[in-house]
């Protein structure tokens, strides 16, 4: 029998970490609650900001991972990964014609905080997804250079440049698989904990302004695949969707991708909500309730 986290494997607990930019701070609080309840992953899959959080946990799968993640998010807020004046951002756009920010600050952050450099060095099997431009398809990174793969998964169109690896160009994994429950199940997990950014449980309404059109369209796409994954679960698979604890409506606030002021509150809200959920459900490593 193949080990959990490998194609054809059976059994095991998976953490699925979805995308969502700055809202991904909520996943840190969820991870803290899971570790406090003794839940440990046999497999981690992540998309976009979930790839950042997931890679750090896979490299250090214990309570210390939460402290490391909090430090990363504090640095995201203080160092300004998406820093720069309007003129600087427009200058980058004019020079590149494709994006507003360079990727180097994010690369430096990952290289500073990730204690390993390759997938093979991780303590827990980890995969992250990106969207291949040439093939118009999802691509799962499972080996090789870890930072390059995470950067590809995080390459938000218009904000960061596409990542070129071996002649192929990749954009943000949220374009093809924002909450990859199906991937975890395909790899053999029978207990899945979904860590998301808090948008999937909020009702959608028709856009009222041009800035909302793309947001609503993207939400339809990401929720449709997530719902399809849940509807197609095979017998014997248990999925726990952890709450984010965020009472705020989605709205245009989600478009403020450079605003990290709410990060500490978002982590704490998600921790309390996920902790209470786990207390009530009795969810454990074996999926029991």
What is the Cα–Cα distance from 269 to 32, expressed in whole angstroms? 11
DSSP code of residue 76 = I
What is the Cα–Cα distance from 61 to 107, expressed in whole angstroms? 22
Burial degree of 66 (CB within 10 A; 0-12, 13-18, 19+): buried
Q: What is the pTM of this model?
A: 0.87
Structure token digits, residue 106? 């994010």
Give me the CATH code for the 12-245+258-276 domain, please: 3.40.1090.10
What is the Cα–Cα distance from 57 to 259, expressed in whole angstroms? 24
Q: Catalytic residue at 48?
A: yes
pLDDT at 1 over 50: no
What is the Cα–Cα distance from 2 to 59, expressed in whole angstroms? 21
Active site residue: 42, 60, 153, 172, which one?
A: 172
Could you tell me the residue ranges of all domains in the chain? 12-245+258-276
Active site residue: 42, 48, 229, 244, which one?
A: 48
Q: Catalytic residue at 281?
A: no
User: What average pLDDT is seen over the chain?
Assistant: 84
pLDDT at 117 over 90: yes
Structure token digits, residue 48? 């976009």
Q: What is the pLDDT of residue 208?
A: 85
Nearest Cα to 108, choosing from 145, 144, 81, 135? 81
């Amino acid at each position: 029998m193949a080990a959990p986290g490998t194609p054809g494997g059976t059994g095991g607990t998976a953490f699925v970490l979805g995308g969502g930019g700055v809202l991904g701070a909520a996943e840190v609080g969820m991870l803290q609650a899971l570790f406090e309840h003794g839940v440990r992953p046999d497999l981690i899959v992540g998309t976009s900001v979930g790839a950042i959080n997931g890679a750090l946990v896979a490299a250090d799968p214990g309570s210390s991972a939460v402290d490391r993640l909090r430090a990363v998010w504090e640095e995201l807020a203080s160092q300004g990964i998406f820093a720069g004046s309007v003129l600087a951002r427009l200058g980058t756009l004019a020079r590149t014609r494709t994006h507003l920010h360079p990727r180097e600050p994010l690369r430096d952050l990952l290289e500073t905080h990730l204690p390993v450099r390759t997938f093979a060095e991780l303590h827990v099997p980890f995969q992250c997804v990106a969207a291949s431009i040439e093939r118009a398809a999802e691509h799962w990174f499972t080996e090789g250079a870890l930072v390059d793969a995470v950067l590809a998964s995080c390459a938000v169109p218009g904000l960061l440049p596409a990542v070129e690896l071996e002649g192929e160009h990749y954009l943000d994994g949220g374009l093809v698989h924002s909450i990859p429950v199906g991937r975890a199940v395909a790899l053999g997990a029978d207990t899945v904990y979904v860590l998301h950014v808090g948008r999937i449980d909020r009702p959608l309404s028709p856009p009222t302004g041009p800035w909302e059109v793309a947001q609503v369209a993207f939400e339809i796409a990401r929720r449709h695949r997530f719902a399809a994954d849940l509807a197609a679960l095979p017998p014997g698979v248990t999925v726990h969707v952890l709450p984010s604890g965020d009472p705020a409506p989605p709205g245009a606030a989600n478009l403020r991708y450079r605003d990290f002021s709410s990060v500490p509150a978002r982590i704490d809200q998600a921790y309390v909500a996920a902790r209470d959920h786990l207390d009530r459900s009795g969810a454990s490593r074996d999926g029991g309730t």
